[in-house]
A and B are shown apart, each in its own frame.
Chain A
Amino acid sequence: MIGYILKRLGLALLVALAVSAITFFLLRLSGDVALAIAGEGAQKEDLDLIRKTYGLDRPLVVQYVDWLWQTLQGDFGTSLYFKTDVSRLVLDKLPTTIILGFTALGFALLIAIPLGVLAAVYANSWIDRLALAIAVVGQALPNFFFALILVMVFSITLRWLPVSGSGTWLHFIMPTIALGYYVAPAFMRLIRAGMIEVLSADYIRTARAKGLPTHKVIFKHALRNAVVPVVALTAVQLGFLLGGSVVIETIFALDGLGYLAYQSITYKDFPVMQVIVLLLSILYVLLTLASDIANAWLDPRIRVA
């Protein structure tokens, strides 16, 4: 197990390296940093001066190695737009996005688990069809459109929630729902399919033969086994949520990493973009690793080998 984890961490490192290189070259080849610093319409002499000062006239590979070396030493550079430390900036915004990620995930599971279980237990009943309808709509509805519908209903019509901004927990409600509903269908389908399979297992009959009450049969014996693949999906979906947070945080002007990413992109703030993409990649790889470990831990056949 330890060997496996070390191997995966090594892979994570390689992936992070590859991602950093890809983003660096992709961004540098598609945009001009000097122009971003000087602003549109700058004179050629000024641009040349900037290139010289910042070392942008060196070959890209050299610049990349230089950047990598500084990053490894913990120096993530300075934001071109916000004029502050990138690490400071990112660390300030990260908690908001992490909170949003987990509340959205919680919301998704909160609707997906009960509906998925009920849909499986009462397969082909009206509740199964209702769950299916909720899932199908959730998959088809673009999340930004759904977010705007929420704003229309809860902020403009009912005036219950603030339209945008951050600061209070009220600001998190609509982003949580918009982002959570976006990932809930996948969970719901997986739980329903898993439960249907598990409910016909022999050990469920054994549990019923023991005279256990229905809720114990379903939640202790069935759900425990049906939930294993859900853990693997959770990591993938958290990655999805991090990506989705760019759109949702921007709509609600929620001051997290996603909104920062959007701002840095519109202001062509290279150092910030680079670090955010790298950070999200590392988070994703670590999440999949965590889910693999959780998966192994959940399955005694792997854990107790």
Chain B
Amino acid sequence: MTDTILSVPTVAEATPGMRLARRFLGQKAFVIGAGILTVIIGLALLAPLIAPHDPYAQNLALRNIPPVWYAKGSWLHPLGTDQLGRDYLSRVLYGARISLLIGVSVVLISGIIGTTLGLMAGYFGGKIDLLVTFLVTTRLSMPVILVALAVVAMVGGSLWIVILVLGLLKWDRFAVVMRSATQQVRSLDYVAAAEAAGASTTRIILREVLPNIAPHLIVVATLEAASAILLEAALSFLGLGVQPPLPSWGLMISEAKAYMFFSFWLIAIPGTALALLIFAINLAGDGLRDVISPEGRV
């Protein structure tokens, strides 16, 4: 008897988490995007296990072998080999690691900078707000790709330099979104109540403000990661990003440029991989945005 009574409400009511999960799954775009993204992340993590060859091992005797779907292709190198005879599938798999690493690290750096600035501007207002707004305007007026190219050219390209430079440049959107979100949360009653109750500023920001804007932050982070990945690819494509022999997709396209007339697949494969990754992140990000902030604040 007691069992049946107890079991009734659990059937009827879903937890907030379940409801949120259902909303996410209702978003076809999000499901597709997150699905593709999960596969790419999985492949990147498992690259050392599943890559058929060492991505750096050259074999000049086996240069520019076309992928398996061409007549001259072979299953030994399913996606063929590049101009130095390196296995293209292995390089593409390892390339995913670079792109994902760039996306995550850049967003971590820029997210911390932008969030801090935006929080301060939105929470304290006044002169601090003016200063941050000025910094954002100044930053926005400097073309990212140009400044990044110049600095990388001066200091010398490496994976970490690229991450650092992009991270230091791409905090603007975080700052803008955090600023307006913080302003809104600040005006809410319970934050005023916490203030009146004598809670410290740090405590209010950490306990009341941040959790409220975290969802918006995640959306910005997703879209900024995509943008950072594209920028790294562009920098590497121009020869001023990640340096050879690292298998960055942008760099692979750059190296294959000279062979595009005969072996366009050398460009098409990393290009498609890049587009697919960006597509998946954007789709997941848009889906997240629709679920988290349907009013479209981000």
Contact = CB atoms under 8 A, between A and B. Distances in A.
Complex: A in contact with B (CB within 8 Å): yes
Interface of A: 11, 14-15, 18-19, 22-23, 26-27, 30-31, 136-137, 139-145, 148-149, 151-152, 156, 239, 242-244, 246-247, 250, 261-262, 265-266, 268, 273, 276-277, 280-282, 284-285
Contacts of A19: 138, 141-142
Contacts of B140: 239, 284
Contact of A27 (B154, B250, B261): B154
Contacts of B275: 137, 140-142, 145
Contact of B134 (A14, A137, A242): A14
Contacts of B137: 11, 15, 285
Interface in B19-41: none
B294 to A, nearest CB: 12
**Dominant secondary structure at the A interface:** helix
18 contacts: A11-B137, A19-B138, A23-B147, A140-B279, A141-B275, A142-B250, A142-B271, A144-B250, A145-B275, A239-B140, A246-B145, A246-B149, A262-B149, A265-B153, A266-B153, A266-B239, A281-B142, A285-B141
A247 B143 contact: no
Interface stretch (B60-68, B73-81, B230-238): B230-238
A29 B275 CA distance: 35
B94 to A, nearest CB: 19
Contacts of B154: 27, 30-31, 268
Interface of B: 134, 137-138, 140-147, 149-151, 153-155, 230, 233-234, 237-240, 250, 253, 257, 260-261, 264, 267-268, 271, 274-276, 278-279, 282-283
A18 B279 contact: no
A148 B253 contact: yes
A277 B145 CA distance: 11
10 A-B pairs closest in CB distance: A31-B154, A243-B143, A145-B271, A140-B279, A30-B154, A281-B141, A140-B278, A284-B141, A18-B138, A140-B275
Contacts of B138: 15, 18-19, 22, 281
